[in-house]
Structure 1
């Protein structure tokens, strides 16, 4: 990391950042030596100094084939706010990002219903969508819940502007503020 002053260390701030992102990009190892990256909905929880990220996916397809061969993944969460015509504190954009590495475990409802339901419920944290309770479905969906476990040492975060409190995490609407040209 070149701009160490932009790094976010506080787990409380990182957790708040994760609440504001709309999707996660997950990179997997492809057989041809290139990364394979897909955007997905997600849910998460932090416990015992670990970040647990939950995703869902169908039981067939390229993603499943890759994950069954190599469960190592890299997660990228980000948001970018652009304001090219109204500089704020000497900048023309703002961003938040979190990168995490971990291992993904595919959870089948027939084998571990408790973990499946927990992951399923947490998926709806992302985007603030209303949840369709699993119990209300007529049939169990033909999908896996992916549970990704990341050690806190494998989680890093950045922000264009310093984040000191959770109130600093949402983007500032520069068009609603008095012009600030300081650097």
Structure 2
């Protein structure tokens, strides 16, 4: 059975179960899509995500050119056969649109802690000198929806 999710609290909870965030940037004729690890901000009124990148590179250039991004993340739980001889799967997913922008250097520690916590390394003593050579960005989602699709008797999609 499928369920569309729009509640921010539930969407935020879903994000905690996703390993990878796919970010789509505008790049000439085709989007440029990058898989990233990420952190989840504490803002209760909107969804804020954190990533970090080297200071040089294609992604940094694209962010400067156009801060509008799309995001997508999912967890696939299982494949299963349906009675009509097709195959489906159980999953949770999120898609969204938002603005990506660099955060102030003073906010780096908080953002890195959210990234490390999400990745399961909340007590990891990361290299702060290395992080100082990176940009840390926040993505503020202005539109986000999720979907849960689970195996059931009345699965229609």
Q: How does 1:43-122 map to 2 (within 5 A)?
A: 43-84=39-80, 92-107=88-103, 112-122=104-114
Unaligned runs of at least 5 residues, structure 1: 162-173, 175-180
Taking the aligned partners of 2:94 and 2:107, their CA distance within structure 1 comes to 24
- Does the CA contact (< 8 Å) of 2:8 and 2:46 recur in 1? no
More strand by percentage: 2
* Structure 1 Cα separation of the partners of residues 96 and 30 of structure 2: 19
**Which of structure 1's runs of 4+ aligned residues deviate more than 4 A?**
none
CA contact (8 A) 1:58 1:144 kept: yes
What is the CA RMSD across the aligned residues, in angstroms? Answer: 2.6
TM-score by length of structure 1 reads: 0.72
Q: Name the count of aligned residue pairs.
A: 151
Specify the SS of the correspondent of 2:16: helix
2:20 corresponds in structure 1 to 23
Instruction: Judge conservation of contact 1:42–1:125 (CA < 8 Å) in 2.
Output: no
Would the aligned equivalents of 1:51 and 1:149 in 2 still touch at CA under 8 Å? yes
Deviation at 1:48, TM superposition (A): 4.6
Q: Distance in 2 between matches of 1:54 and 1:131?
A: 18
- Larger helix share, 1 or 2: 1
Separation in 1, partners of 2:24, 2:119: 21
